[in-house]
Structure 1
Amino acid sequence: METGEDIKATPKGFYCKLCEIHTPNQWSLDDHVKGKKHQHLCRLRAKRKAQVKNSVFVSGFKPATSSTELSEYFKQFGPVSEVIMDKEKGVYAIVEFSEVDSTQTALAQLEHRMDGLKLRVKPRERKEFKLATKGKHDPKKPQISLERLNYELCQAASVNEQMQKMVESFQLSENDRTARELLVQLLQEVFTEFLPDCQIVPFGSSVNTFGVQSCDLDLILDLEHTKAFQARGKKFEQTEENQSEDTRSEDSILSDVDLATATPAEILELVAAILRKCVPGVHKVQSLSTARLPLVKFNYRELNLEGDITINNRLAVRNTRFLQLCSGLDCRVRPLVYTVRFWAKQKQLAGNPFGGGPLLNNYALTLMVIFYLQNVNPPVLPSVEQLRNMACEEEQCVIDGWDCTFPSQPFTVPPSKNTDDLCTLLFGFFTFYSKFDFPGSVVSLREGRTLPITDFLSRDEEMPDTPQGSEPKQRNTAHPRLGPVNILDPFELHHNVAGNLSERTHRNLHRECCQAEKYCRSLQYRNKSSKGKSWGLVRLFTPRVEGCPRSQDGKEKSLEISIPFRASILPESLRRELGSAGDTFRVLWFSKLCTAVGAVFKDILKCTPPEEPTISQAQTKTGEDEEVNNNESVKQVITHPGVKRPLPAEESPSSSSSPQGKRQRLDPSAEHPEKACWSWAQRHQVWAGRRKVRRDLLKKSDEASKPEGGCSSIESRVTQCIIEKEVDPKDLLEFRVDAVVVGGGESTKAVLKFTPNNDLQGHFQDFFHFLESFLPKMVETLLAKQE
């Protein structure tokens, strides 16, 4: 098994070029090399190399020559295992022998003739073995060259012109829009034959004025009128013995399907069947009935276009109309959206080629831009609530209980008084979100302001979204899924469009916004380079570089782990307690979190206090108040207004009577610290081979398997098994953990900063990498059990 050339050391661990994956440490690398994927690719590569050695490249034969004729000719040199013909790129073939000697014999012959023509026979070209990825771009799809884009942007006279070029480069062309309209018409004609009075309605990027080349075609199949048609047919059938032809056809698919009682999965299968059998050029049809919005995916061969169809999703159509309205209200909206989207893709904040995953989608980014334009001074766009008040009575619209009212035409909305140019607005966007408290706030485009997250901790009442005097079809009692980033849909108020984001994506978003804001202050952003160097958006779009151990300012990255506030994982009693705490809820939550953090290190990872704690270890850099826990391994720093800073140990009047290593408890009544610190020693490699030990342990027990960090008792036993297997444990490392609640307003995130004190064998980086994923999961598991 060849691994020497496949593995490359990186600042963050190792990179396997064969499998194209990163591993953080040697233990993870060993597990990967022994894994099925790596070994399968090694075997496949060896097989391909053997095939190359056993093959010859043949050209010069007649176009009508078959693979059988070539096989018969080359059998004189030895057994032929396969003949691969390719007549699209040119008349040639690959002849593969069963033995290497046969290949050498064929190549040794000076001249080959077949059907009166001289054949050209040479060794098969040896190409580097590469892993084919599912996200690989189709060569038939038009792709925008980054080099070409950078050249055009550098030729622009200003950042404003660069942003206009972004729209011109990425927007759907007139031909693209026309082709999509024709496809919609084709689908409408086909589906009407089987589902009378149905409607195929496009929505999303194709029609909301923010579409890009090769974007998917999102469609809605509206069956409301079809259901009414079917109901009339049944009623008529009950009164008449012979049904008229214009009401119901014997060949209609409605004779076998009752749309009023059919499940969404049954309707999707019906749609998929019509696409497969009746729409020419459609292939790769797939029904996804378990998605958040069930849909049918398909591919249209003529345009090499991917599309999907959902059922009766009228809210999506209304969202599309809203984005169209925002685009028409101000000409600066589109350039800003296109620029921010491409920036996010270059920084790996959005644009997941495999779909889903913890990255921002284009819809969420567009809403972020609109929300910023609602809050800039003076506002560029009005809030959804203000738009509702501008609408006339005929424009009132309620869908599934949600108020979706806004003017249908942009000219009915007063123009903005904001005169900032695009360059200034883009700078303001990054400044706005570099200082934004995402974990503690909920973005509401409806009200045009942020809502405190405490408002969503214990909501049992219906959200006030319906207009007065109207009766919603159903009561919307579901809560939005809270996370590190919370952006409410403008109309479906229990849908957080950024609910899939992880804490890591939130950190990356904040970091990239801060770096972009810093760059936009420089001369390279606003002034065109006279020496032909990159400037403006070109430097802003510089792709994010993975594996860099230092930040851009040259400083070492701090070893920090953030644990966000997640109301959804807390027990109901604790949520009610936090909700009643008002603005001080974060302090109470932080106190509970400190207890869980201490339990993870002490009870689950079996960390112990350092051998000889000293006074200096217990003191903080700021000289603030301290509390020595009875555990001796936890030292919490209490910060309260009105409490005096303690005197140093040598100046304290009680220092002579206090035992060494102990200090008086300064504020026994303080129950909720805002800062905390711990000092720990780890004598065992509890992170090495942990998953394997866990799997072996679960095989012998009756406990249900849970994700790593999902069960405290299992993880504690895993640690104990690792400790028992170590023959000669040594003092591996000592480290300090400082925790603090951060964020403006309602801070809802705890930041734990790690400082290694004694790491002679260099194990702390591996230990910290393990903690990055394990500690937040384990702490949330323990918080979910607290009452």
Structure 2
Amino acid sequence: METDKDIQTTQRGFHCNICDVNIPNKPSLEDHVKGKKHQHLVRLRSQRKAQEENSVFVSGFNPDTSQIDLKEYFTQFGPVTDVIMDKQKGVFAIVEFSKPDDAQTALAQLQHQFSGLKLRVKPREKKDFKLASRGKQDSKHQISLDKLNFELCKAASVNEQFQAVMESFELKDNEKKVRDLLVQLLQEVFAEFFPDCLIVPFGSSVNTFGIHSCDLDLFLDLENTKVFQARAKSSDQAGENPSEDSRSEDSILSDIDLSSATPVEILDLVAAILRKCVPGVHKVQTLASARLPVVKFSHRELNLQGDITINNRLAVRNTRFLQLCSGIDSRLRPLVFTVRLWAKQKQLAGNSSGPGPLLNNYALTLLVIFYLQNRDPPVLPSVNKLKRMACEEEECIIEEWDCTFPSQPISVPPSKNTEDLCTLLFGFFAFYSKFDFSASVVSLRDGRALPITDFLHRDKEEVATAEASSPKPKRSSAPKLGPVNVLDPFELSHNVAGNLNERTQMNFKRECSEAEKYCRSLQYQRKSAKGKSWGLVRLFAPPSEAGPRSHAGTEKIMEVSIPFKADVLPGPLCSQLAGAGEAFRGLWFAKVCSAVYTVFNDILKCSPSEPSQDTVTAQSQEKDGNETEVNNNQSMQDIDPQTTGQSAKKRPLATDDGPSTSTCTQAKRRRLDSHVEHPEPVHWSWTQTRHVWAGRRKVRRDLLKTSDETSKPEGGCVDIESRVTQRIVENEQEVQDLLEFKVDAEVVGGSENTKVNLRFKPSQDKAALFQDFFHFLESFLPKMTETLLGKTESVMEVS
């Protein structure tokens, strides 16, 4: 395999030249070579080579020559399978025969006369097969990070580095002029087919945050064209003579009624106009399934990608809003450019292959603006405050969303905040490293984080029914909730970070925390006298491949976290949490504890540990001063979370241990109160006498083969997992005191993501098996708990 020309041996393993990927070892190499991607590229390369052998290069014909004419001429040498012409210049073509011998016959003829012209026929150029990059490349504007770092190190201060970053990436005047010319060209072309239409640029090209080779986003406004078409129809029905303009447009507007046509039908027409009538445009594609249907295209000479939509007025308004924010405070643009570069280097944003679980530039920009709204004093005002500064003529309502704000920055009083960029960036990282993304919704309209319970008051089915019954968006429509929730400033039902997953959110917070630590150092604040990297340079370093550093001599904490996920909770539980308000964490903690208890007791068949002679107990005070105790391993179903103050029998506190060291059935804890925002931790002690984690997947597969149930991921079905455990218990001999362990559950949130932390500690592990059991629980317990929380009937049981 190493002798394969596609595989190259390197110091760190292997490199596949055709796939352009590094492979660490031989087993991985064997899997890669057998993989679909590698096999597909090998077949594609063979196909391309065959096409090269079967084809000839032809030039010298008239530009108006058709493919059919060339095909008829070259058929005399053998069957022709395809003729590919340069549609832009019309000066050459590739003629592909079905056999290599036919191509050689055509090449053997010394002269080719066609339509009175002498054709030049040559062998087709042989090119090396390369995997095309999905990313957008523009060699003229590619920024070398090494070159940028060199320039940054020469700066006199961190604030100068901010300016250097912005100047390196921002669109230059000549690039803006080129884009303006393309917009003018498209305006002229489309006006011929859609009278009185407008081509309106929006997005990064004009919102002051554009970078080299960013997309050219365009909005095709057809409102005036619809009026034109309606007036023309009225004239025809009244028997009046149509105007000259009306007659010239009859060929296209007579084929489609703009007032009743679907967006996809209109965009298909837009795509046809782009292909046939706009010079330099190619790779035209209609994306009808996108959230907002769009036509994507590329311009060959300008090496520029573009999008055209017909129903995106809110995006145009968002562009005006970002322009206003840039004009209000000059610190916004360099801060945004720096944060974007940092996020891209840390692999948090900038997905070159398209949509995915990474932050997009718009969401990042809104996060920066929201942070500046929350500085003390604020750098930028909230959208609601901007609305109050607008005059009556500036009122704007789009699709029932209030999009009102001043049209000019001069209408907004300057900020009293005088912090420099160096300080603001440090504050950005500190702000989001402690931000509770799981239980908060970022609202630029209010300028503050809204509790997620404000968006849980409506049942999901009710929301779906309301949206399905009305073609227009409603202000009460709930946004799609996820690990990160950032509301659009105007379309309040749109979460612009709704594509992110749990891992991306955790990575973002971790990188913010690391950046915050670095920004506290002198390496960030002061220029190095020894010529070392300093300031923003070290901040842009890619994440370490070695992963987090290990701390020698530190005992590993065995902890499993169950994050708060509003999007997977059933409607009844969402309603309960919404009713709890700011104390929702206490109620949610009760539900999670109930689910965790069910996993251990009912699904994994663990049993409470037997009490020992030196039982440790704990006391706790309730509001009335009475002491209470609750069985530590009591199911949460047996604890009414709505009741408090019921005292149990008092027991003395042991003198040799504190309250947090209870280990057995008789150990006590504070009664769980769902109305408390941060309730006391819960403690359990369990005994496991079976290897319920060993061979579990095989037993599960065997059960599914003999049942009619559909396969679900591990931890996705309560009944299946219970049966798997039962099968293992039946087939395995019981071992006395196999494993005893303690579990401490605690809910956190507010200054960090809301979650329940479960800390494990073995109290008896004679066979040294707890590490394997814990490794199984790390994956199984969160999934199983989430499944139980998602079952409406399970939620109602513990209410």
Scaled to the shorter chain, the TM-score interval is 0.7 to 0.9
Summarize the alignment of residues 572-591 of structure 1 with structure 2, pairs less than 5 Å apart.
572-591=571-590
Is residue 488 of structure 2 the alignment partner of residue 489 of structure 1?
yes
Answer yes or no: is the 8 Å Cα contact 1:33–1:39 preserved in 2: no
Query: Which residue in the other structure is 1:712 paired with?
Result: 718
TM-score calculated relative to the size of structure 2: 0.74
1:786 and 2:790 are equivalent in the alignment: no
Corresponding residue for 1:171?
170
Query: Structure 1's 651 and 368: CA in aligned 2 closer, same or farther, altered over 3 A?
Result: closer
Retained in 2: the 8 A contact 1:609–1:632?
no
Partner of 1:740: 746
Contact 1:444 1:450 in 2 (8 A): yes
Conserved 8 A contact 1:683-1:731: no
User: Per the alignment, do residues 245 and 683 of structure 1 end up closer, same or farther by CA in structure 2, a change over 3 Å counting?
Assistant: farther
Matched with 1:563 is 562
TM superposition shift of 1:310: 1.7
1:256 aligns with 2:259: no
- In 2, Cα distance between the equivalents of 1:440 and 1:15? 44
Name the SS for the 2:747 alignment partner: strand
Match of 2:682 in 1: 676
Corresponding residue for residue 663 of structure 1: 666
The superposition leaves residues 195-226 of structure 1 with CA deviations (integer Å, 9 ceiling, x where unpaired) of: 22222211111111011112112111212222
SS of residue in 2 equivalent to 1:483: coil
Alignment coverage as a number of residue pairs: 688
| Structure 1 pair 42–262 and aligned structure 2 pair: CA distance change class (3 A) | closer
Q: Is the 8 A contact 1:233 1:248 kept in 2?
A: no
Match for 1:767 among 760, 770, 776?
776
Q: Secondary structure at the match of 2:513?
A: helix
Distance 1:16 1:756 in 2: 43
Report Cα offsets for 1:234-262 as digits up to 9, x if no partner.
22221127533322436532211122222
Query: Shift of the alpha carbon at 1:771?
Result: 3.8
Structure 2 counterpart SS, 1:484: coil
* CA deviation profile, 1:313-334 (whole Å, cap 9, x unmatched): 1100000000001101111111
1:364-421 Cα offsets, whole Å, 9 max, x none, are 1111111111121222111111111111111111101111111111112111122111
Q: Aligned with 1:454: secondary structure?
A: helix
For residues 73-472 of structure 1, the aligned pairs below 5 Å read 132=131, 134-135=133-134, 138=137, 140=139, 142-240=141-239, 243-249=242-248, 252-459=251-458
Aligned-partner Cα distance in 1 for 2:397–2:233: 29
Label 1:730 to 1:350 Cα distance change in 2 as closer, same or farther (>3 A).
Answer: farther
CA distance in 1: counterparts of 2:639 and 2:757, whole angstroms: 16
> Is the 2:789–2:795 Cα contact (8 Å) retained in structure 1?
no
Please report how far the alpha carbon of residue 730 of structure 1 lies from its aligned counterpart in structure 2 after TM superposition. 12
Q: Judging changes above 3 Å, is the alpha-carbon distance between structure 1 residues 319 and 733 closer, same or farther for their aligned structure 2 residues?
A: farther
Counterparts of 2:745 and 2:21 in 1: how far apart (Å)?
32
Match of 1:627 in 2: 631
Give 1:10-89 correspondences, 5 Å limit: 38-40=34-36
2:595 is matched by which residue type in structure 1? Answer: A
SS in 1 for 2:484: coil
* Structure 1 position 751, deviation (Å): 2.8
Helix, strand or coil for the counterpart of 2:246?
coil
2:378 aligned counterpart, secondary structure: coil
Of all paired residues, the percent bearing the same amino acid is 58
Residue in 2 that maps onto 1:749: 755
Of residues 586, 601, 608, the one that matches 2:606 is 608
Spell out the pairing of 1:513-532 with structure 2 (5 A cutoff): 513-532=512-531
1:662 Cα deviation from its structure 2 partner: 3.8
Compute the displacement of 1:548 (Å). 1.5
Distance 1:769 1:399 in 2: 48
Is contact 1:330-1:380 (8 Å) kept?
yes
Contact 2:617 2:652 survives alignment (8 Å): no
The whole-number CA distance in structure 1 between the counterparts of 2:432 and 2:550 is: 20
In the alignment, the residues of structure 1 paired with residue 755 and residue 663 of structure 2 have an alpha-carbon distance, to the nearest angstrom, of 35
Q: Deviations over 1:98-145 (max 9, x none)?
A: xxxxxxxxxxxxxxxxxxxxxxxxxx99x9xx9947545636463211
Whole-angstrom CA distance in 2 between matches of 1:442 and 1:157: 39
- Equivalents in 2 of 1:267, 1:407: separation in Å? 33
Is the CA contact (8 Å cut-off) linking 1:628 and 1:635 kept in structure 2? no
Report the 3-state secondary structure (helix = DSSP H, G, I; strand = E; otherwise coil) of the residue aligned with 1:497: coil
In the alignment, what sits opposite 1:99? none
Structure 1 residue 777: Cα displacement = 4.6
In structure 2, do the counterparts of structure 1 residues 397 and 615 end up closer, same or farther at CA, with 3 Å as the change threshold?
farther
CA distance 1:676–1:417, shift in 2 (3 Å): same
Instruction: Confirm or deny: 8 A CA contact 2:436 2:750 kept in the other structure.
Output: yes
TM-superposed CA distance for 1:496, in Å, is 1.6
**For residues 614 and 45 of structure 1, do their structure 2 counterparts lie closer, same or farther at Cα, with a shift above 3 Å needed?**
farther
CA distance in 2, matches of 1:277, 1:556: 69
**Matches of 1:533 and 1:505 in 2, distance apart?**
31
The structural deviation recorded for 1:530 is 0.5
CA distance in 2, matches of 1:678, 1:242: 88
Any conservation in 2 of the 1:378–1:418 contact (CA below 8 Å)? yes
Q: Secondary structure at the match of 2:318?
A: helix
- How far apart are the structure 2 equivalents of 1:227 and 1:616? 85
Contact 2:217 2:308 in 1 (8 A): yes
Kindly provide the amino acid, as one letter, of the partner of residue 572 in structure 2. Answer: S
1:494: Cα distance to partner? 1.5
Distance between the aligned counterparts of 1:617 and 1:581, measured in 2? 36
The AA in structure 2 aligned to 1:396 is E
725-734 vs 407-416, which deviates more? 725-734
Q: Give the counterpart letter for 1:781 in structure 2.
A: G
Q: Offset of 1:520 from its aligned partner?
A: 1.2
Matches of 1:632 and 1:417, distance apart in 2: 52
SS in 2 for 1:416: coil
Q: Residue 365 of structure 2: SS of its match in structure 1?
A: helix
Q: Is the 8 A contact 1:287 1:297 kept in 2?
A: yes
Cα distance in 2 for partners of 1:499, 1:407 equals 29
Paired residues of 1:610 and 1:734 also in contact (CA < 8 A)? no
- Structure 1 residues 776, 651: closer, same or farther in 2, change over 3 A? closer
1:164 Cα deviation from its structure 2 partner: 0.5
Residue 178 of structure 1: how far off its partner (Å) = 1.6
Q: Shift of residue 457 of structure 1?
A: 1.7
Provide structure 1 residue ranges, at least 5 long, that are not aligned to the other structure. 9-13, 55-63, 65-123, 462-471, 653-658
- Per-residue Cα deviation, 1:137-187 (whole angstroms, up to 9, x for no partner): 636463211111111111111000000001011111222212211222222
CA contact (8 A) 1:489 1:496 kept: yes
Opposite residue 339 of structure 1, the aligned amino acid is T
In the superposition, relative to structure 1, how do residues 287 and 481 fare at CA in structure 2: closer, same or farther (>3 Å)? same
Tell me, in whole angstroms, the C-alpha distance in 2 between the residues paired with 1:22 and 1:677. Answer: 47
Q: In structure 1, what is the Cα distance between the partners aligned to 2:578 and 2:331?
A: 40
